[in-house]
């Protein structure tokens, strides 16, 4: 073999051997291949849910409104279309709201007394909800029907001796207007805060008054996430 051919063969062998090294060096210069992060999933509000709430309630009217605590539960269903959330919710709560009035009339040789005690036993609503979702936040309003049950006892006496009492109870209906905000925690749990104003008209347990509720609650959504859910 001639010297010239031997030199060419050595050069070709050297070049072939150097290709992997050159390729590795180029990869080292370029660094790792960039991959775009996966899109951030959004919370899916669709589905059935149930939960519980606690709050306070008060009536306004003539300035001598009653105030107390309330607690109960709610169930509902949401359906999400893009960022709009439509739903229906029913709730019921027992209350500690009470009121009383008494009167004393002093006459010749007699003292006449009278007393009345009333309590709001429970309130309930059934209303469609209309909301707008921004990821894990849902801001909504609702309007629908409201019901309340009140009971009262009146008694009278003369000179410290009772001579009669009467008890009545009544369930009335009206309407509710509410606004609220709900936040998705983790898994299927959400927390909310809500304000309701109820009107039972002149025949209600709060005649010519409005009844107000401010409550906080927690919900659990049943079932899977569906497309786009965070679980």
Report if residue 39 sits inside a domain: no
Residue 227 is predicted with a pLDDT of 43
Cβ neighbors of 182 (< 8 A, separation 6 or more) are 131, 137, 138, 140, 190, 191, 192, 219
Per-residue pLDDT of the chain (231 residues; tens, 9 = 90+): 554 554 445 445 555 555 555 555 555 556 566 666 555 557 889 999 999 999 999 987 654 568 899 999 999 999 999 999 999 999 999 999 877 555 656 556 666 656 666 788 999 999 999 999 998 999 999 999 999 998 877 766 565 666 666 667 888 899 999 999 999 998 899 999 999 999 988 755 555 568 899 999 999 999 755 444 433
- Between CA 197 and CA 180 the distance in angstroms is 12
Report if residue 29 sits inside a domain: no
Report if residue 20 sits inside a domain: no
For tokens 């439509």, name the residue.
86
Q: How many domains does the chain have?
A: 1
Cβ neighbors of 77 (< 8 A, separation 6 or more) are 47, 48, 49, 87, 88
Report if residue 186 sits inside a domain: yes
Q: What is the pTM of this model?
A: 0.71
Output Rg (C-alpha) for the chain, integer angstroms: 36
Nearest to 220 by CA among 94, 78, 84: 78
Report if residue 229 sits inside a domain: no
Residue 228 is predicted with a pLDDT of 44
DSSP alpha helix (H) spans, the chain = 3-30
Report if residue 30 sits inside a domain: no
Report if residue 165 sits inside a domain: yes
Range of the domain at 64: 47-221
Domain at 211, CATH number: 2.40.160.20
Burial 128-151 (b: 16+ CB within 10 A, else e): ebebebeeeebebebebebbbbbe
Report if residue 14 sits inside a domain: no
């Amino acid at each position: 073999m001639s010297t010239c051919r031997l030199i060419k063969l050595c050069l070709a062998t050297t070049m072939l051997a150097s290709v992997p090294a050159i390729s590795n060096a180029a990869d080292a210069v370029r660094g790792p291949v960039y991959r775009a992060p996966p899109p951030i999933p959004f919370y899916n509000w669709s589905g059935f849910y149930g939960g519980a709430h606690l709050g306070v309630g008060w009536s306004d009217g003539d300035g001598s409104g009653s105030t107390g605590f309330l607690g109960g539960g709610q169930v509902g269903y949401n359906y999400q279309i893009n960022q709009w959330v439509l739903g229906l919710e029913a709730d019921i709560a027992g209350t500690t709201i009470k009121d009383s009035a008494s009167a004393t009339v002093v006459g010749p040789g007699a003292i006449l007394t009278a007393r009345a005690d009333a309590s709001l036993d429970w309130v309930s609503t059934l209303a469609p909800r209309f909301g707008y979702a921004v990821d894990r936040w849902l801001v909504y309003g609702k309007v629908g029907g409201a019901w309340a049950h009140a009971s009262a006892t009146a008694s009278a006496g003369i000179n410290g001796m009772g001579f009669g009492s009467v008890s009545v109870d009544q369930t009335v209906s009206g309407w509710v207007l509410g606004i609220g905000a709900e936040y998705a925690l983790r898994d299927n749990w959400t927390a909310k805060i809500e304000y309701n104003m109820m009107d039972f008209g002149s025949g209600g347990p709060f005649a010519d008054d409005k009844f107000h509720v401010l409550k906080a609650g927690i919900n659990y959504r049943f079932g899977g996430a569906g497309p786009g859910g965070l679980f």
